[in-house]
């Protein structure tokens, strides 16, 4: 096969029907945390726990999208963005997590979907983007096996309310973050630090996808079902066999632990064996894999940056550092840090260039990731459901936001998606994270991923240069690579 990445730069056209859009998530943009009957979520509680979120920031107001939805959709339409991935807040729809639906919560999402459709924008709702109702956390949250059924019941309510106008529902966003960052490293809500618990939560999330998919299909038979995984592109830091094995292990815990049961109906034997010293897997019951292995109509892939890992023998005892690794490892740090949920793989610092997240910019690893998925899980169409970068540019003296670094990142990453398609990967669309600057979880508001700048005092929106650049790409269905 020719190395498409080595090809001369030129005009890159995407396939006919390629879907272009932007993405957000409820807690990150909506605000109105206490309105129209919304119940509290684990993020409302986590944000109020001392030391969990930078500067004590919360999603109480966020971008105030809940109140500004019409203007935001007008802006989206004016930029010519054809599709929009958003999430439904479970605690707006079911304030107690289960039981009676809150009609005002459902009405908001109905208005949002109708508003999108009126403007010719295709809605792509995600049912769970991390804001579990606090009432369910008090019943054990995702550690409780019943959580899978709670999720399925909630999915049925939403699919029933929106199934006539929504073509695709996504069940979960990034279950890896929920399980490992929420329950092993504790940097996300609910903030537990228990490696065995994280694996139990993985299983319950997989079950939730299975039961939730069945509930969606029952309520909205013509709808497609998807989920978004932040599949990690993990490289061994060297050819040393210990490092190569660490990469296998991290790939298993990050990726195959979701991909294999959902797409192939079985947990990978090596992952099960690796974790046996700290997890007995007794939470996997006989019929569970049949429930989970329902597949997806399209696989959502979220990608930002690659990782490089070493094995335990490469980590000198003096340099062991148990600081949380993964999504929120800030640059610098000269030392390896443990891969979330294990001590058998350690991520090592990588050279720049970096985004404001401290994440290395390496577009070729995006091509590697998409081609690997297409090779290992053939026949599963993919959709990039998140990709983007944080750069802190704000309005200059001319009132405009000249975010050239974002344009460069997007240019190179879209070329990387194109290269994967040219190499045979079935990638059907691309959703840029994010439409608006928004609340970046534990890091608060200073990490700006938006195409549109948000002034958090005035809440004024200013489209950045990247917004008009992206509009041009979308209109042309291609770009100069």
Give the catalytic positions in this structure.
174, 386
Identify whether the C-beta of residue 438 lies closer than 8 Å to the C-beta of residue 24. Answer: yes
Q: Which is nearer to ligand GCO, 174 or 243 (CB)?
A: 174
Q: Which is nearer to ligand GCO, 358 or 481 (CB)?
A: 358
Q: Which is nearer to ligand GCO, 27 or 469 (CB)?
A: 27
Q: Is residue 176 a contact residue for ligand GCO (CB under 6 A)?
A: no
Least distance (Å) between residue 4 CB and ligand GCO: 26
- The tokens for 388 are 């983007």
Q: Is residue 403 a contact residue for ligand GCO (CB under 6 A)?
A: no
Q: Which is nearer to ligand GCO, 220 or 234 (CB)?
A: 234
Q: Is residue 131 a contact residue for ligand GCO (CB under 6 A)?
A: no
CA triplet 285, 301, 145: central angle to 5 degrees?
Answer: 20
Least distance (Å) between residue 467 CB and ligand GCO: 18
Distance CA 131, CA 109 (A): 16
Size of the site for ligand GCO (CB under 6 A): 11
Q: Is residue 437 a contact residue for ligand GCO (CB under 6 A)?
A: no
Q: Is residue 440 a contact residue for ligand GCO (CB under 6 A)?
A: yes
Strand partners, 224: 168
Q: Is residue 243 a contact residue for ligand GCO (CB under 6 A)?
A: no
Point out which span in 169-177, 288-296, 318-326, 464-472 binds ligand GCO (CB under 6 A): 169-177
Q: Which of residues 447-476 bind ligand GCO (CB under 6 A)?
A: 449
Distance CA 398, CA 402 (A): 10
Point out which span in 171-179, 195-203, 265-273, 286-294 binds ligand GCO (CB under 6 A): 171-179
Residues in the chain: 481
- The tokens for 356 are 């404001």
Q: Which of residues 69-88 bind ligand GCO (CB under 6 A)?
A: none
Q: Is residue 57 a contact residue for ligand GCO (CB under 6 A)?
A: no
Point out which span in 7-15, 172-180, 259-267, 277-285 binds ligand GCO (CB under 6 A): 172-180
CA distances from 440 to 25, 143, 353, 436, 448 (A): 10, 24, 21, 11, 8
Of 58, 102, 122, 230, which lies in the binding site for ligand GCO, with binding defined by CB under 6 A? Answer: 230
H helices then E strands: how many in the chain? Answer: 17, 16
- The tokens for 114 are 């109708």
Strand partners, 363: none
Point out which span in 145-153, 173-181, 274-282, 335-343 binds ligand GCO (CB under 6 A): 173-181
Q: Is residue 25 a contact residue for ligand GCO (CB under 6 A)?
A: yes
**Sequential DSSP letters for 417-474:** HHHHHHTT--EEEEEEE-SB----GGGGGGS---SEEE-TTT--EEE-HHHHHHHHHH
Identify whether the C-beta of residue 166 lies closer than 8 Å to the C-beta of residue 121. Answer: no
Of 14, 142, 433, 435, which lies in the binding site for ligand GCO, with binding defined by CB under 6 A? Answer: 433
Q: Is residue 356 a contact residue for ligand GCO (CB under 6 A)?
A: no
Q: Which is nearer to ligand GCO, 393 or 440 (CB)?
A: 440
User: What DSSP character marks residue 177?
Assistant: I
CA distances from 278 to 194, 390, 413 (A): 10, 36, 38
The site for ligand GCO (CB under 6 A) is made up of 25, 28, 173-174, 177, 230, 302, 386, 433, 440, 449
């Amino acid at each position: 096969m020719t190395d498409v990445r080595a090809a001369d730069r030129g005009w890159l056209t995407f396939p006919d029907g390629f879907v272009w859009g932007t993405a957000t998530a409820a807690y990150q943009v909506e605000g109105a945390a206490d309105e129209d009957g919304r119940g509290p979520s684990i993020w409302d509680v986590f944000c109020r726990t001392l030391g969990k979120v930078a500067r004590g920031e919360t999603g109480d107001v966020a971008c105030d999208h809940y109140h500004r939805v019409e203007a935001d959709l007008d802006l989206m339409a004016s930029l010519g963005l054809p599709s929009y991935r958003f999430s439904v807040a479970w605690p707006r729809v079911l304030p107690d997590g289960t039981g009676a639906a809150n009609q005002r919560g459902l009405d908001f999402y109905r208005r949002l979907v109708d508003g999108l459709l009126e403007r010719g924008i295709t809605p792509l709702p995600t049912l769970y983007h991390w804001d579990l109702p606090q009432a369910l956390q008090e019943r054990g949250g995702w550690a409780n096996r019943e959580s899978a059924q709670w999720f399925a019941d909630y999915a049925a309510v939403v699919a029933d309310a929106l199934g006539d106008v929504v073509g695709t529902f996504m069940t979960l966003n990034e279950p890896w973050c929920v399980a490992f960052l929420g329950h092993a490293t504790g940097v996300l809500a609910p903030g537990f630090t228990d490696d065995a618990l994280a694996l139990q939560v993985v299983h319950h999330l997989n079950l939730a996808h299975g039961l939730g998919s069945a509930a969606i299909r029952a309520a909205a038979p013509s709808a497609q079902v998807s989920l978004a995984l932040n599949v990690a592109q993990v490289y061994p830091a060297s050819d040393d066999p210990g490092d190569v094995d660490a990469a296998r292990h991290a790939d298993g815990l990050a990726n195959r632990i979701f991909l294999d049961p959902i797409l192939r109906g079985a947990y990978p034997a090596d992952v099960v064996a690796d974790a046996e010293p700290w997890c007995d897997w007794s939470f996997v019951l006989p019929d569970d894999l049949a429930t989970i292995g329902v597949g997806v109509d399209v696989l959502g892939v979220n990608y930002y940056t690659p990782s490089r890992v070493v094995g335990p023998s490469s980590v000198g005892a003096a340099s062991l550092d148990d600081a949380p690794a993964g999504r929120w490892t800030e640059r610098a740090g000269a030392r390896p840090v443990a891969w979330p949920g294990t001590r058998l793989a350690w991520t090592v610092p990588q050279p720049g260039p970096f985004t404001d997240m401290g994440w290395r910019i390496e577009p070729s690893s995006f091509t590697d990731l998409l081609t690997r998925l297409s090779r290992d899980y053939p026949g599963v169409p993919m959709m990039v459901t998140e990709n983007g970068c944080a750069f802190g540019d704000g309005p200059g003296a001319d009132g405009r936001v000249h975010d050239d670094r974002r344009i460069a990142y997007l240019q190179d990453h879209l070329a990387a998606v194109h290269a994967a398609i040219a190499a045979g990967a079935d990638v059907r669309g691309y959703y840029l994270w994010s439409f608006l600057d928004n609340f970046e979880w534990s890091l608060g508001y200073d990490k700006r991923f938006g195409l549109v700048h948000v002034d958090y005092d005035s809440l004024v929106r200013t489209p950045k240069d990247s917004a008009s650049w992206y509009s041009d790409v979308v209109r042309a269905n291609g770009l100069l690579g």
